[in-house]
Amino acid sequence: MIAHRWWMPTIHSRTRSHLVSEAKHSIVHVYGLNKLSQEGIKTQVKSLLENDRYICRATGRETLQGHFKAAEITEIIFRKYFAGIKMRGHADEGFFEAINEVFICLVASAIRHCLTFWETGVFIRSSKKMDFKYDTAYRTYQRLLETWKSYPANIQVLLLSSIKADLRARLVATQPKVQLESTEPLPLNDPVRFEQELRAELAGLRASARDAERRSAHQRRTLEQELEEGQGPTILRDVGDEGEE
Protein backbone atom coordinates (compact mmCIF):
# COMPACT_ATOMS: atom_id res chain seq x y z
CA MET A 1 0.00 0.00 0.00
CA ILE A 2 1.30 3.47 -0.84
CA ALA A 3 1.75 5.19 2.51
CA HIS A 4 -0.24 8.30 3.38
CA ARG A 5 2.66 9.90 5.22
CA TRP A 6 4.79 10.07 2.08
CA TRP A 7 7.07 12.75 3.55
CA MET A 8 8.59 10.48 6.23
CA PRO A 9 12.41 10.19 5.94
CA THR A 10 12.43 6.51 4.95
CA ILE A 11 12.20 4.81 1.58
CA HIS A 12 9.52 7.38 0.68
CA SER A 13 12.20 10.10 0.55
CA ARG A 14 13.88 8.20 -2.29
CA THR A 15 10.49 7.81 -3.97
CA ARG A 16 9.97 11.58 -3.77
CA SER A 17 13.42 12.27 -5.17
CA HIS A 18 12.96 9.94 -8.15
CA LEU A 19 9.45 11.22 -8.79
CA VAL A 20 10.54 14.87 -8.78
CA SER A 21 13.42 14.02 -11.11
CA GLU A 22 10.99 12.47 -13.60
CA ALA A 23 8.52 15.33 -13.29
CA LYS A 24 11.26 17.92 -13.77
CA HIS A 25 12.32 16.39 -17.09
CA SER A 26 8.85 15.41 -18.33
CA ILE A 27 6.84 18.60 -17.78
CA VAL A 28 8.88 20.33 -20.50
CA HIS A 29 7.40 17.91 -23.03
CA VAL A 30 3.98 17.02 -21.61
CA TYR A 31 2.98 20.67 -21.12
CA GLY A 32 4.65 21.74 -24.36
CA LEU A 33 7.04 24.21 -22.72
CA ASN A 34 9.76 23.27 -25.20
CA LYS A 35 7.65 24.75 -28.01
CA LEU A 36 7.14 28.16 -26.40
CA SER A 37 9.15 31.36 -26.12
CA GLN A 38 10.34 32.57 -22.73
CA GLU A 39 7.35 34.89 -22.44
CA GLY A 40 5.06 32.09 -23.62
CA ILE A 41 6.41 29.73 -20.96
CA LYS A 42 5.93 32.38 -18.29
CA THR A 43 2.30 32.95 -19.31
CA GLN A 44 1.57 29.24 -19.64
CA VAL A 45 3.05 28.32 -16.25
CA LYS A 46 1.26 31.18 -14.49
CA SER A 47 -2.05 29.99 -15.91
CA LEU A 48 -1.38 26.36 -15.00
CA LEU A 49 -0.46 27.15 -11.40
CA GLU A 50 -3.36 29.52 -10.84
CA ASN A 51 -6.16 27.66 -9.04
CA ASP A 52 -4.28 24.42 -9.75
CA ARG A 53 -5.45 24.40 -13.36
CA TYR A 54 -2.63 22.01 -14.22
CA ILE A 55 -4.54 19.09 -12.64
CA CYS A 56 -7.65 19.70 -14.78
CA ARG A 57 -8.25 18.09 -18.15
CA ALA A 58 -7.02 20.34 -20.96
CA THR A 59 -10.53 21.11 -22.22
CA GLY A 60 -11.71 22.19 -18.77
CA ARG A 61 -8.85 24.30 -17.47
CA GLU A 62 -10.48 27.67 -18.10
CA THR A 63 -13.55 26.63 -16.13
CA LEU A 64 -11.65 24.43 -13.65
CA GLN A 65 -13.40 21.22 -14.69
CA GLY A 66 -12.15 17.64 -14.61
CA HIS A 67 -9.84 17.76 -11.61
CA PHE A 68 -7.07 15.12 -11.66
CA LYS A 69 -7.99 14.13 -15.24
CA ALA A 70 -5.06 16.03 -16.71
CA ALA A 71 -3.43 13.70 -19.22
CA GLU A 72 -0.07 15.04 -18.04
CA ILE A 73 -0.52 13.39 -14.61
CA THR A 74 -1.11 9.98 -16.16
CA GLU A 75 1.74 10.51 -18.63
CA ILE A 76 4.27 11.26 -15.90
CA ILE A 77 3.14 8.23 -13.86
CA PHE A 78 3.54 6.10 -16.97
CA ARG A 79 6.97 7.50 -17.81
CA LYS A 80 8.24 7.04 -14.27
CA TYR A 81 6.84 3.60 -13.47
CA PHE A 82 5.73 1.77 -16.63
CA ALA A 83 7.65 2.98 -19.72
CA GLY A 84 10.34 0.30 -19.38
CA ILE A 85 9.81 -3.42 -18.86
CA LYS A 86 12.15 -3.42 -15.82
CA MET A 87 10.49 -0.44 -14.15
CA ARG A 88 8.73 -0.82 -10.83
CA GLY A 89 5.25 -0.86 -12.33
CA HIS A 90 6.14 -4.08 -14.15
CA ALA A 91 8.44 -5.65 -11.57
CA ASP A 92 6.07 -5.19 -8.59
CA GLU A 93 2.85 -7.08 -9.30
CA GLY A 94 0.98 -5.22 -6.57
CA PHE A 95 2.11 -1.74 -7.57
CA PHE A 96 -0.67 -1.03 -10.06
CA GLU A 97 -3.47 -1.99 -7.70
CA ALA A 98 -1.84 0.05 -4.90
CA ILE A 99 -2.26 3.29 -6.87
CA ASN A 100 -4.77 5.40 -4.99
CA GLU A 101 -5.75 9.02 -4.36
CA VAL A 102 -2.79 9.51 -2.02
CA PHE A 103 -0.37 8.52 -4.77
CA ILE A 104 -2.16 10.65 -7.39
CA CYS A 105 -1.99 13.70 -5.11
CA LEU A 106 1.69 13.03 -4.44
CA VAL A 107 2.41 12.97 -8.19
CA ALA A 108 0.35 16.13 -8.72
CA SER A 109 2.23 17.87 -5.90
CA ALA A 110 5.56 16.97 -7.49
CA ILE A 111 4.37 18.34 -10.84
CA ARG A 112 3.39 21.66 -9.27
CA HIS A 113 6.73 21.83 -7.48
CA CYS A 114 8.56 21.43 -10.79
CA LEU A 115 6.34 23.87 -12.68
CA THR A 116 7.42 26.61 -10.25
CA PHE A 117 10.97 26.26 -11.63
CA TRP A 118 9.66 27.82 -14.87
CA GLU A 119 7.69 30.75 -13.44
CA THR A 120 10.11 33.30 -14.92
CA GLY A 121 10.03 31.67 -18.37
CA VAL A 122 13.45 30.04 -17.89
CA PHE A 123 14.38 27.10 -15.69
CA ILE A 124 15.58 28.23 -12.26
CA ARG A 125 16.28 25.48 -9.75
CA SER A 126 14.98 26.19 -6.28
CA SER A 127 17.41 26.39 -3.38
CA LYS A 128 18.00 23.49 -1.03
CA LYS A 129 15.57 25.10 1.38
CA MET A 130 12.85 24.68 -1.24
CA ASP A 131 13.41 20.98 -1.97
CA PHE A 132 10.31 18.83 -2.35
CA LYS A 133 9.74 17.76 1.23
CA TYR A 134 7.16 17.99 3.99
CA ASP A 135 7.87 21.58 5.00
CA THR A 136 7.63 22.94 1.45
CA ALA A 137 5.07 20.64 -0.21
CA TYR A 138 2.63 19.63 2.50
CA ARG A 139 0.21 22.50 1.88
CA THR A 140 -0.03 21.65 -1.82
CA TYR A 141 -0.45 17.96 -1.10
CA GLN A 142 -3.09 18.54 1.59
CA ARG A 143 -5.04 20.96 -0.63
CA LEU A 144 -5.09 18.47 -3.50
CA LEU A 145 -6.08 15.56 -1.24
CA GLU A 146 -8.93 17.60 0.24
CA THR A 147 -10.02 18.54 -3.29
CA TRP A 148 -10.16 14.85 -4.18
CA LYS A 149 -12.13 14.02 -1.02
CA SER A 150 -14.58 16.84 -1.68
CA TYR A 151 -16.09 14.77 -4.48
CA PRO A 152 -18.82 12.26 -3.57
CA ALA A 153 -17.51 8.75 -2.89
CA ASN A 154 -18.91 7.32 -6.13
CA ILE A 155 -17.11 9.99 -8.17
CA GLN A 156 -13.86 9.29 -6.31
CA VAL A 157 -14.14 5.61 -7.28
CA LEU A 158 -14.91 6.50 -10.90
CA LEU A 159 -12.05 9.00 -11.02
CA LEU A 160 -9.49 6.48 -9.78
CA SER A 161 -10.85 3.80 -12.12
CA SER A 162 -10.61 6.23 -15.04
CA ILE A 163 -6.98 7.08 -14.28
CA LYS A 164 -6.08 3.38 -14.03
CA ALA A 165 -7.94 2.64 -17.27
CA ASP A 166 -5.90 5.36 -18.98
CA LEU A 167 -2.69 3.79 -17.66
CA ARG A 168 -3.78 0.35 -18.88
CA ALA A 169 -4.53 1.76 -22.33
CA ARG A 170 -1.04 3.25 -22.49
CA LEU A 171 0.46 -0.05 -21.40
CA VAL A 172 -1.39 -1.98 -24.09
CA ALA A 173 -0.42 0.57 -26.74
CA THR A 174 3.28 0.15 -25.94
CA GLN A 175 3.32 -3.67 -25.83
CA PRO A 176 4.73 -5.43 -28.91
CA LYS A 177 1.93 -6.85 -31.00
CA VAL A 178 1.95 -10.63 -31.22
CA GLN A 179 0.77 -12.04 -34.54
CA LEU A 180 -0.34 -15.67 -34.52
CA GLU A 181 0.92 -17.61 -37.53
CA SER A 182 -1.62 -19.54 -39.57
CA THR A 183 -1.48 -23.34 -39.64
CA GLU A 184 -3.30 -23.47 -42.99
CA PRO A 185 -1.25 -24.82 -45.93
CA LEU A 186 -0.09 -22.37 -48.56
CA PRO A 187 -2.01 -22.32 -51.86
CA LEU A 188 -0.39 -24.38 -54.65
CA ASN A 189 0.28 -22.60 -57.92
CA ASP A 190 0.12 -24.97 -60.97
CA PRO A 191 1.43 -28.18 -59.32
CA VAL A 192 1.54 -30.04 -62.69
CA ARG A 193 4.02 -27.55 -64.10
CA PHE A 194 6.04 -27.65 -60.88
CA GLU A 195 6.27 -31.46 -61.19
CA GLN A 196 7.58 -31.15 -64.75
CA GLU A 197 10.20 -28.63 -63.64
CA LEU A 198 11.35 -30.89 -60.81
CA ARG A 199 11.64 -33.92 -63.13
CA ALA A 200 13.63 -31.92 -65.70
CA GLU A 201 15.89 -30.54 -62.97
CA LEU A 202 16.46 -34.00 -61.53
CA ALA A 203 17.27 -35.45 -64.98
CA GLY A 204 19.78 -32.68 -65.62
CA LEU A 205 21.49 -33.26 -62.26
CA ARG A 206 21.71 -37.01 -62.90
CA ALA A 207 23.17 -36.43 -66.39
CA SER A 208 25.78 -34.06 -64.95
CA ALA A 209 26.70 -36.63 -62.32
CA ARG A 210 27.11 -39.39 -64.96
CA ASP A 211 29.33 -37.15 -67.13
CA ALA A 212 31.50 -36.35 -64.12
CA GLU A 213 31.81 -40.04 -63.30
CA ARG A 214 32.82 -40.89 -66.93
CA ARG A 215 35.49 -38.16 -66.95
CA SER A 216 36.84 -39.38 -63.65
CA ALA A 217 36.96 -43.02 -64.87
CA HIS A 218 38.74 -42.04 -68.11
CA GLN A 219 41.39 -40.05 -66.19
CA ARG A 220 41.91 -43.00 -63.83
CA ARG A 221 42.37 -45.49 -66.68
CA THR A 222 44.81 -43.15 -68.47
CA LEU A 223 46.89 -42.75 -65.31
CA GLU A 224 46.97 -46.52 -64.69
CA GLN A 225 48.07 -47.18 -68.31
CA GLU A 226 50.92 -44.64 -68.10
CA LEU A 227 52.13 -46.16 -64.85
CA GLU A 228 52.13 -49.66 -66.37
CA GLU A 229 54.21 -48.46 -69.36
CA GLY A 230 56.69 -46.81 -66.97
CA GLN A 231 56.15 -43.41 -68.44
CA GLY A 232 54.71 -41.80 -65.30
CA PRO A 233 51.93 -39.29 -65.31
CA THR A 234 52.02 -36.87 -68.21
CA ILE A 235 52.26 -33.88 -65.91
CA LEU A 236 55.48 -35.27 -64.35
CA ARG A 237 57.08 -35.89 -67.77
CA ASP A 238 56.34 -32.33 -68.76
CA VAL A 239 58.06 -30.98 -65.65
CA GLY A 240 61.07 -33.24 -66.24
CA ASP A 241 61.39 -32.14 -69.90
CA GLU A 242 61.45 -28.52 -68.81
CA GLY A 243 64.36 -29.26 -66.44
CA GLU A 244 66.42 -30.89 -69.20
CA GLU A 245 66.18 -27.79 -71.36
The CA-atom distances, in angstroms, between 194 and each of 184, 207, 215 are 21, 20, 32
pLDDT for the residue numbered 54: 95
Each of the 245 residues of the chain gets a pLDDT tens digit; together they read 444 444 434 335 556 677 888 888 899 999 999 999 999 999 999 999 999 999 999 999 999 999 999 999 999 999 888 876 555 445 466 788 889 999 999 999 999 999 999 999 999 876 665 688 877 888 999 999 999 999 999 999 999 999 999 988 888 887 766 566 677 787 878 888 888 888 899 899 899 989 988 888 888 888 878 777 766 555 444 444 544 44
pLDDT for the residue numbered 82: 82
67 contacts 55 by C-beta, under 8 angstroms? yes
Q: Where are the domains of the chain?
A: 11-174, 194-244
pLDDT for the residue numbered 11: 36
pLDDT for the residue numbered 151: 94
